[in-house]
Copies of this chain bind each other. A is one copy, B any other.
Amino acid sequence: MSPFPSAADSCLEAQGPREAMARRFAQVRAHSLALAEPLSAEDQCIQSMPDASPTKWHLAHGSWFFEAVVLRAHVPDYRPFDERFFYLFNSYYEALGPRHPRPLRGLLTRPPLAQVLAYRAHVDAAVQSFITRGGEPMWQQALPLLTLGLQHEQQHQELMLTDILHALSCNPILPAYAQPALASALRLAPTVVPPLRWLAGPAGTVQIGHDGGGFAFDNETPRHSVLLSPYCMADRLVNCGEYLQFIEDGGYRRPELWLSDGWAAVQANGWSCPPYWLAPDDVRAPARHWQVFGLQGVRALDASAPVSQVSFYEAAAYAEWAGARLPTEFEWEAACAVPGIAQMTGHLWQWTRSSYDPYPGFRPLAGAVGEYNGKFMVGQLVLRGSSSATPAGHARPSYRNFFPPGARWQFSGIRLAKDA
């Protein structure tokens, strides 16, 4: 079965496009609220570092995007909920004017959460009205932007989880985002970890980039040919048991395993394990074994679970230690079609050995949304796949996620590759 189901999309297309969009809009927007539901207004307000944003800000910014890009531009009689929000909840769109400084997002106790929810409702109503009643020319113009807005909302849904997890991890009492389900308790029985297998990937000339069906971001285009030398891919992600061996073998103390910038990060920040791991003597939750903090709070380290929240530096050092390397983003994309390959999506984003450079012939979208992807194409590494925090239906083989090499708060893991 393909790891990239398109059933939902197919289903939508059986309806008229306006009905399909109305339903999809409602579904996606509702999911954001569902993610925020376990959190108090206090939880939703704070910002634990400049790279992360408050839950409430994410909720507002998703609405801002529809307001700024769809409603203001395509709905002549649209009345903004609050003019000040145009400034407060802009993220980084220079073409749309100045904005509240990113590091200060956590100081916005006002508007209060209730008002942000009212803002969402206001925008939802206006968008749904436009979907239903907007004139045809405007509708045709706005449709790609509505679609983009929903993809954008979904990206922030994942960030809501990564960011709140980081915030909670800064609290010494390590509170859980959500209570563990009973079922998960049963998982404590030791898992049998299958040995990692190497699968040959497609080599020679391969087609890379979005193939034209369904939505894709501009950075996945144009589709083009790439030459690949023979290579093998690991059939699954590196797991916590394997990563623990790396640690116990002195992985964080051996400079020869690390890229120069990575070793500098290890030393400057005192890294000795992934950021949410608790060593047995951790004062916050003493135990006889390693533990891992996650959305369900502190739990015993599960050797069979993929290691998560590692930086590119750690991924590359682990690969060096394991006598392998990270795959390029092209190898990763080509390997999606290899029978037997597992954990490509739905578990963890996977660091590749590819810098986030433009594809040959890349052109950003026109207008303000041209700032969406292209202007970040330097200093970042590509991650492929998707994670357990990625909304259903949001992933595809050509998807290019990207973060700086030192980022350690995403659901990011390690897949190995090697030359054949």
Contacts and interface: CB of A to CB of B under 8 A. Distances in A.
A42 B405 contact: no
Looking at chain A's contact residues, is the secondary structure mostly helix, strand, loop, or mixed? mixed
B381 A405 contact: no
Contacts of A48: 107
A261 B378 contact: yes
A107 B173 contact: no
A167 interface: yes
A358 interface: yes
Counted per complex, copies of this chain come to 4
Interface in A91-118: 92, 94-95, 100, 104, 106-113
Interface in A249-288: 255-256, 258-263
A94 B255 contact: yes
A227 B205 CA distance: 9
Contacts of A379: 261, 379, 405
Given A112-B42, A258-B375, A405-B378, A107 B361 contact: no
Contacts of A261: 376, 378-379
B229 A227 contact: no
Interface residues of A, number: 66
Contacts of A44: 42
A353 interface: yes
Interface string A11-32: 0000000000000000000000
A224 interface: yes
B312 A378 contact: yes
A225 B224 contact: no
A211 interface: no
A84 interface: yes
Taking each of A112, A172, A225, A312, which has the highest tally of chain B beta carbons within 10 Å of its own beta carbon?
Answer: A172
Given A259-B377, A357-B355, A175 B110 contact: yes
Given A258-B375, A358-B353, A106 B109 contact: no
Contacts of A46: 45-46, 106-107, 109
